[in-house]
Amino acid sequence: MPRPVTIAERIERAHILDRPITALSRTVVRALPAGSRADALHGVPFGQPAHPALVRLPLGCWTSAVLLDVFRGSERAARVLVAAGVLGIVPAAATGLADWSALHRDQQRVGMIHLGCQGVAGLLFSGSLLARAGGRHGYGKALSAAGLLCASGGAYLGGHLALRLGAGANHADQVSHLSGLGWHDLGPLSSLPEGRAVRRQFGYLSLLVYRSPDGVHVLSDRCAHLGGPLHQGRIVTERGGACVACPWHGSTFRLADGRVVHGPATARQPSFETRVTKGGLVQLRPRP
Ligand code: FES
């Protein structure tokens, strides 16, 4: 019997899933263009992905319903919990699909099976609800138990996706652990081209440096979403300020302070305060 992690690792490499993934991914991207709706589904206003919080409702309700069935609790309460769980999968699926559409392919393969498991669980619990409403309580309980088994398998893959493959985690460098306190020299101002983002190395950190007429902006170069190279991104103006759009999935960060303007990233991009000495040397320190 293969260990669960071995199965999850096999799914990561299951190229057979690539065709349906491409089709579904295109559909989701077409239905969900960049903007405030997509940002809300990614969880940008909350500062972290919305999907993990929303999946607690169906999983919690369904687990409670099966426990009521096992310990001969109230049938009415079990029915309410099953129904609440079935309704709860709608927002969970919407946020999950939005996040899934902006992942790497190995992550998408695991996400696809995760989605399939939760979809089948939703169908089994819907069937359970119908069976219970028709007076076939034993059959309804069996369908609920099968649904919970399926949802638990899906939840395991969701954990693998988030904790092993890092989907939804903050991938920006941990600046506070990698740079000392106080001001540090970056280099002469004259070495920085105006109006173009460049990459500079600062100790262990890779930085995006952008010189504009109003000063020098510095962000950590590793995108908070999945580690894309921000210095290769487009410089755009959003909400009256200069921003950088990541070349991989389009997360947009304000250059002045790293704030997320558009997802899929939800975590602020680490940024630095800068000053120019009388001798024309650019200095920086991590912004608190
Ligand atoms: S790596 Fe995905 S938006 Fe930057």
pLDDT digit string (tens) for 70-88? 998 899 999 999 999 999 9
- At residue 105, does pLDDT exceed 80? yes
- Report yes or no on 208 lying in a domain: yes
Q: How many secondary structure helices (H) and strands (E) does the chain include? A: 9, 10
- Report yes or no on 170 lying in a domain: no
d(CA 61, CA 80): 9
Atom of ligand 1 nearest to the CA of 249: 3
Residue 219 beta carbon below 6 angstroms from any ligand 1 atom: no
**Which percentage of the chain shows pLDDT scores above 90?**
85
Q: What distance in angstroms lies between residue 205's CA and the mean position of ligand 1's atoms?
A: 18
Residue 44 beta carbon below 6 angstroms from any ligand 1 atom: no
d(CA 100, CA 264): 10
pLDDT at 235: 95
- Report yes or no on 50 lying in a domain: yes
Is residue 210 helix, strand or coil?
strand
Residue 248 beta carbon below 6 angstroms from any ligand 1 atom: yes
Q: Which of 171, 206, 223 to mutate to test the pocket of ligand 1 (most atoms within 8 A of CB)?
A: 223
Domain end position, chosen among 137, 164, 191: 164
Under the banding of pLDDT at 50, 70 and 90, the label for residue 251 is very high
Residue 172 beta carbon below 6 angstroms from any ligand 1 atom: no
pLDDT at 6: 94
221-232 tens-digit pLDDT: 999 999 999 999
Higher pLDDT, 175 or 253: 253
193-222 tens-digit pLDDT: 998 999 999 888 899 999 998 889 999 999
Same domain, 82 and 15: yes
Same domain, 204 and 153: no
Atom of ligand 1 nearest to the CA of 233: 4
Same domain, 188 and 232: yes
Under the banding of pLDDT at 50, 70 and 90, the label for residue 124 is very high
Residue 110 beta carbon below 6 angstroms from any ligand 1 atom: no
Q: What distance in angstroms lies between residue 39's CA and the mean position of ligand 1's atoms?
A: 14
What is the tally of structural domains in the chain?
2
Same domain, 76 and 130: yes
- Report yes or no on 152 lying in a domain: yes
Residue 107 beta carbon below 6 angstroms from any ligand 1 atom: no
Q: State how beta strands 205-212 and 271-276 pair.
A: unpaired
- Report yes or no on 169 lying in a domain: no
Under the banding of pLDDT at 50, 70 and 90, the label for residue 271 is very high
pLDDT at 239: 84
144-169 tens-digit pLDDT: 999 999 999 999 999 999 999 999 99
Residue 231 beta carbon below 6 angstroms from any ligand 1 atom: no
pLDDT at 173: 83
Backbone CA torsion sign across 146, 148, 150, 152: negative
Residue 226 beta carbon below 6 angstroms from any ligand 1 atom: yes
18-33 tens-digit pLDDT: 999 999 999 999 999 8
Under the banding of pLDDT at 50, 70 and 90, the label for residue 282 is very high
pLDDT at 287: 85
Same domain, 15 and 81: yes
Same domain, 148 and 182: no
Q: Which domain holds residue 53?
A: 4-164
pTM across the whole model: 0.90
Atom of ligand 1 nearest to the CA of 247: 4
d(CA 195, CA 46): 32
Domain CATH for 256: 2.102.10.10
In this structure, the residue with its CA closest to atom 2 of ligand 1 is: 249
Q: What distance in angstroms lies between residue 269's CA and the mean position of ligand 1's atoms?
A: 11
Question: Of the candidates 181, 147, 153, 171, which has an alpha carbon nearest to the alpha carbon of residue 69?
Answer: 147
